[in-house]
Chains A and B, each alone.
Chain A
Amino acid sequence: MVLISVEVNGTRHQHDVEPRLLLVQYLRETLGLTGTNIGCDTTSCGACTVLLNGESVKSCTLLAVQADETEITTIEGLGGPDGTLHPVQEAFREHHALQCGYCTPGMVLAAVSLLAEEDQLDELGVREGLEGNLCRCTGYHNIVKAVLACAGGRKTPIESSP
């Protein structure tokens, strides 16, 4: 067992973990933060995306021991402590950017990371920036609209979805 110390959503946690424990299992099973979903479990779908020191990563392809001494943000920690939604969450609600909702936590966190890195985003930039997240309902149109609504340099308005 290896002792790790991780700050998750602003709270410091210390646990002895088995080296092979994946970060996503640590978050879901040790900490009970089940907002992070497991989709494909093969680094493809992005449902398990969390922020590691502010950058999007797929928590199915990271060992919990690799996250030692880092700061993690999951969907539970994105909004304010009083339940206020993060602007990206608000935009997802506003633009109806979800259908079944399974990909949503990962989509939202991937979008937060993308928006932090790119100050000028057009539609293509958003679509490319969300390449690592799959929506099996194929509801991409409204997701892109929601993220564009949060982007400062909105250049290409998207037609309203059918």
Chain B
Amino acid sequence: MIPAPFDYVRAGSAEEAISLLVEHGDEAKLIAGGHSLLPLMKLRLAIPAVLVDIGRVARLSYIEERGDEIAIGALARHHDLETSALLKEQVPLLASTAHQVGDPQVRHRGTLGGTLAHGDPASDLPAAVLALGGTLVAQGPTGKREIAAFDFFKGFLETALAVDEVLVEIRVPKTADSGWSFQKFNRRAQDWAIVGVAAVVNGTTGIALVNMGSTPLRATAVEEAVRSGASVADAAMVADEGTDPPSDINASSEYRRHLATVLVRRALEEASS
């Protein structure tokens, strides 16, 4: 499978990428690791006229401490996240989730910014960032703005990013003392999650669902139940509230609703243990 023809431009900085986006508008797509975009281009589901390669913007791949948060450059790869001693210590949910994405080859290429900007409801890391209550930093022609992860995912493969904006940074709160869990149900190790759950409890409480609707979703009913002191079993029962899970070759919508209650229960049990 071969993508449709396109023009290729390499950007040396976020600023350069932004001016290329301003110049080409919605004809252009950013590419970093390319592990979400290239498969779509090969299937001709995405046919960008111009590909702006930001994969070489080396200074956007940091993982560093900043006060109560860990700041991560958008180009940090899943492999960087899963092997970061800082992240493993301070935000173990994110390091562990990164370790469960795809397979080693995918993790050597895929980036945190890429998977968030792609906004696939079946991806693992967006749910982890949602559960953590992360903050995303978008840079555009007039400067930077912050977007709460909760406000970032707008629809199927749609995010709050404007066509001339680049996602440059992700910040997540330090949660070294919190309980956490990432549960993923799939048939083969490298498959997308049929359903997944990211959970943080104690201090912050955040529960987010993978593949239970058109975007990564926060399980607000579960969060509310946990905060009001409900038992794990009772909190898990409302896991599918407000969701609209798809039916596909892997699972019916009904089965996904069932899986969500089971996986949320497991996640809460693991996070509380």
Residues of A within 8 A of B (CB): 2, 18-20, 22, 25, 41-44, 46, 49, 52, 55-58, 61-63, 65-66, 110, 113-114, 117, 128-129, 131-133
B interface residues (Cβ-Cβ under 8 A, vs A): 1-8, 10, 31, 34-35, 38-39, 41-42, 51, 53, 55, 79, 102-106, 108-109, 189-190
- Chain B residues whose C-beta falls within 8 Å of the C-beta of A63 in the assembled complex: 8, 34, 38
A61-B34, A61-B35, A132-B190 known; A46+B6 contact, CB < 8 A: no
A57 and B108 contact, CB distance less than 8 A: yes
Q: Is the CB of B189 within 8 A of A128?
A: yes
Q: Which B residues touch A129, using CB under 8 A?
A: 104
Given contacts A20-B2, A61-B39, A66-B34, 10 further A-B pairs with CB under 8 A are: A19-B7, A20-B6, A25-B2, A43-B39, A57-B108, A61-B35, A62-B38, A66-B55, A132-B102, A133-B103
User: Are B55 and A49 closer than 8 Å at their CB atoms?
Assistant: no
CB within 8 Å for A110 and B51 given contacts A2-B8, A131-B189: no
User: Would you call A58 and B105 a contact (CB within 8 A)?
Assistant: yes
Residue pair B34, A58 in contact (C-beta under 8 Å)? no
Asked if residues A57 and B190 are in contact (CB atoms below 8 Å), the reply is no
Query: How far, in angstroms, from A66 to B56 measured CA to CA in the complex?
Result: 9
If A22-B2, A131-B190 touch, whether A62 touches B34 (CB-CB below 8 Å) is: yes
Residues of B within 8 A of A65 (CB): 8, 10, 53
Q: Determine if A132 and B105 form an interchain contact, defined as CB atoms under 8 angstroms apart.
A: yes
Name the residue on B nearest A54 (C-beta): B108
CB-defined contacts of A55 to chain B, threshold 8 Å: 79, 108
Neighbour of A43 across the interface among B7, B41, B104, B106, CB < 8 A: B106
Contacts of A62 in B (CB 8 A): 34, 38, 109
Using CB atoms, name the residue of chain B closest to A68. Answer: B10
B190-A44 in contact (CB<8A)? yes
C-alpha gap A22/B6 in the complex (Å): 13
Are A46 and B105 in contact (CB-based, < 8 A)? yes
Q: Which residues of B are found within 8 Å of A58, using beta-carbon distances? A: 105-106, 109
Separation in Å of the B184 CB from the closest CB of chain A? 13
**A42-B39 CB under 8 A given contacts A63-B34, A66-B55, A131-B189:** yes
Chain B residues with Cβ under 8 A from A57's Cβ? 105, 108-109
Are A56 and B105 interface neighbours, CB within 8 A? Answer: yes
How far apart sit A19 and B9, CA to CA, in the bound complex (Å)?
A: 9
